[in-house]
């Protein structure tokens, strides 16, 4: 009998120890290997550490496991542009939209802007796609001008007529809506449909204490013994990284989907398109002959003959048409071209870094007041930024200027203009690529030139290869150009990997 009592007491003692190892917020109490102090313990001051973090996949995204690949065009360059010479690079893991951004997605964005920024109608006008991109001098495309964006028949079709600048603004808005929904789902905030003007949820404004919102039924408990609750911090890992445009390297890597053509680090077949083979039809026995993309097959042949349409799309098509690639991404060739983040330079492939290559960095800092605090958010509810100045980076070694769009290709040290001639054209990083067509020093390429890729419904098969690249001014738009979003992967490049 005494033995049984001893066993019961031992079990109870063990249970109490187990219960005491959990913090008030449900986090595990582990010990710092540096100080021996317990994490997540209010009695020790409440320093919090959340181990075992695994990033959630945001709405609409697909995980893309990174790796090394040969970036650039490896088939015949029939235009002899030589602007994408092959080079091996490594792309870190990231997330990408499974489909192109749809009309219905963009309409949701426009609706939100019109509802929240009632006192700033210019914000809504600035976000509107250019529906006149459908017009041609010798074609009757008025039905597309009137119907394509808003008619429910095209709701699942890719949005077009969106400039690079507008696409970036959409990414910022989507980041805030997704993170706001996360906080609502967690019970930290309540839905507030009465957000107006600057009083709208912005991820950065919330993190820096410049947005309060309506506190939910499950506020974040603060383990600091001096406080009861607190707002979510970035180190909680609850909020997702920002949605953004993919870099050119990310987009090309994801489009090729070589994960389906490799075995134990051996690539069995190099691809020209996002699928195997040198043709644009399905090679699988069960689906042989079916079109893999929406493009122009020949002069005046946009979709084939009645009764047996080859790709079934006279213009664009539903974003989930055809077959996804080996990353489960749809329409990475054809349908519409897609904006990527990079500034265009013909020789970028010779200058790029081997890891996570990208051209277009313009480094910024948050605007601070005289006491070093972040200044009040702007009239749209966003944290203010400014481009770094020379004094900010005077002693840096890893980069020497804030604007790196012209790095090694157009900046003062690489420009062919020297001496007094250089001083005459303003010693800055944009003189070589000023874009001034009437200037002897100008170029059709400028710091506003952005890369787009993938081929569209107006293109021949040549442009469907992920290695092909073209450019357009970031303020312009087309009827065969859309975009999709990406998101950075934080932590391990292998999804679900834990210690």
Nearest C-alpha neighbor of 483 from the set 450, 445, 447, 459 = 450
169 and 268: one domain? yes
Residues 351, 478 within the same domain: yes
Is 218 within a domain?
A: no
Q: How far apart are CA 133 and CA 131, in angstroms?
A: 5
Tell me the pLDDT tens digit for each residue of 33-85. Answer: 999 999 999 988 889 998 889 999 999 999 999 999 999 887 777 777 778 88
Longest dimension (CA), the chain: 102
Q: What's the whole-number mean pLDDT along residues 349-375?
A: 93
Core vs surface per residue 380-392: b (16+ CB within 10 A) or e: ebbbeeeebeeee
Comparison of pLDDT for 301 and 484, the residue scoring more: 484
Residues 37 and 69 in one domain: no
Our count of domains for the chain comes to: 2
Q: Are residues 93 and 176 located together in one domain of the fold?
A: yes
Domain residue limits at 163: 61-186+238-360+451-488
Q: State whether 85 and 116 are in the same domain.
A: yes
pLDDT tens-digit profile of 103-147?
999 999 999 999 999 999 999 999 999 999 999 999 999 999 999
Same domain, 280 and 350: yes
> φ and ψ at 289, to 5 degrees?
95, -10
102 within a domain of the structure (yes/no) = yes
User: Beta-carbon neighbour count of residue 147 at 10 Å?
Assistant: 14
**Are residues 79 and 23 part of one domain?**
no
| Chain segment 277-289, per-residue pLDDT in tens | 777 776 666 777 7
Q: Which residues pair with 339 in a beta bridge?
A: 452
pLDDT (tens digit per residue) in 320-336: 999 999 999 999 999 99
Q: List, for residues 40-49, the tens digit of each pLDDT value.
A: 999 888 899 9
| Residue 61 backbone dihedrals phi, psi, to 5 degrees | -95, 160
484 within domain boundaries: yes
pLDDT at 212 over 80: yes
Q: Decide if 432 is inside a domain.
A: no
H helices of 97-207, where? 103-116, 121-127, 142-147, 164-185, 203-207
**pLDDT attached to residue 409:** 78
168 lies in the same domain as 258 = yes
Residues 180 and 135 in one domain: yes
25 lies in some domain: yes
Neighbours of 29 (CB within 10 A): 14
Give the pair of three-digit tokens for residue 474. Answer: 């970031």
> Is 217 among the domain residues?
no
Helix pair angle (164-185, 103-116), 10° resolution: 80
Q: What is the arithmetic mean of pLDDT over 144-170?
A: 98
Q: What is the CATH number of the domain that holds 270?
A: 3.90.1580.10
**Residue 36 shares a structural domain with residue 156:** no
Same-domain check for residues 76 and 172:
yes
Let me know whether 106 and 180 are in one domain. yes
Would you say 103 and 148 are in contact if contact means Cβ atoms under 8 Å apart? Answer: yes
């Amino acid at each position: 009998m005494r033995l049984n009592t001893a066993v019961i007491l031992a079990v109870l003692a063990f249970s109490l120890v187990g219960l005491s190892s959990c913090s008030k917020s449900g986090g595990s109490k582990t010990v710092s290997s540096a100080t021996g102090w317990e994490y997540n313990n209010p009695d020790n001051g409440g320093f919090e550490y959340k181990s075992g973090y695994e990033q959630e996949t945001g709405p609409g995204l697909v995980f893309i496991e990174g790796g090394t690949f040969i970036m650039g065009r490896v088939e015949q360059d029939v235009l002899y542009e030589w602007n994408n010479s092959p080079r091996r690079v490594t792309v870190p893991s990231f997330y990408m939209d499974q489909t192109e951004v749809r009309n219905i997605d963009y309409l949701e964005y426009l609706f939100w802007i019109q509802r929240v920024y009632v006192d700033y109608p210019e914000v809504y006008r600035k976000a509107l796609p250019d529906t006149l991109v459908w017009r041609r001098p010798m074609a009757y495309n008025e039905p597309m001008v009137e119907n394509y964006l808003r008619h429910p028949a095209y709701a699942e079709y890719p949005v077009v007529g969106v400039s690079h600048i507008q696409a970036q603004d959409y990414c910022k808005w989507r980041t805030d809506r997704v993170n706001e929904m996360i906080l609502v789902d967690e019970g930290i905030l309540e839905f507030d449909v009465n957000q107006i003007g600057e009083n709208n949820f912005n991820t950065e404004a919330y993190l820096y204490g410049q947005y309060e919102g309506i506190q939910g039924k499950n506020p974040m408990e603060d383990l600091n013994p001096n406080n009861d609750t607190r707002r979510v911090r970035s180190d909680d890992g609850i909020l997702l990284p920002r949605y953004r445009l993919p870099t050119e390297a990310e987009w090309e890597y994801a489009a090729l989907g070589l994960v389906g053509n490799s075995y134990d680090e051996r690539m069995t077949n190099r691809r020209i398109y996002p699928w195997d083979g040198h043709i644009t039809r399905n090679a699988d026995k069960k689906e042989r002959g079916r079109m893999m993309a929406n493009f122009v097959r020949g002069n005046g042949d946009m979709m084939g003959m009645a009764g047996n349409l080859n790709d079934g799309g006279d213009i664009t098509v539903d974003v989930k048409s055809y077959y996804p690639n080996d990353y489960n991404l749809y329409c990475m060739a054809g349908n519409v071209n897609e904006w990527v983040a990079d500034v265009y330079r013909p020789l970028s492939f010779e200058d790029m870094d081997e890891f996570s290559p990208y051209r277009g960095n313009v480094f910024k800092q948050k605007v601070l007041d005289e006491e070093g605090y972040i200044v009040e958010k702007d009239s749209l509810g966003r944290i203010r930024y400014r481009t770094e100045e020379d004094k900010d980076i005077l002693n840096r070694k890893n980069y020497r200027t804030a604007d790196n769009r012209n790095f090694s290709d157009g900046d003062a040290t690489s420009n062919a203009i020297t001496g007094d001639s250089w001083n005459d054209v303003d010693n800055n990083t944009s003189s070589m690529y000023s874009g001034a067509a009437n200037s002897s020093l100008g170029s059709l390429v400028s710091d506003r030139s952005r890369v787009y890729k993938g081929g569209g419904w107006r293109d021949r098969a040549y442009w469907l290869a992920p290695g092909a690249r073209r450019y357009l001014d970031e303020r312009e738009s087309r009827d065969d150009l859309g975009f999709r979003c990406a998101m950075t992967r934080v932590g391990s490049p292998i999804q679900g990997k834990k210690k």
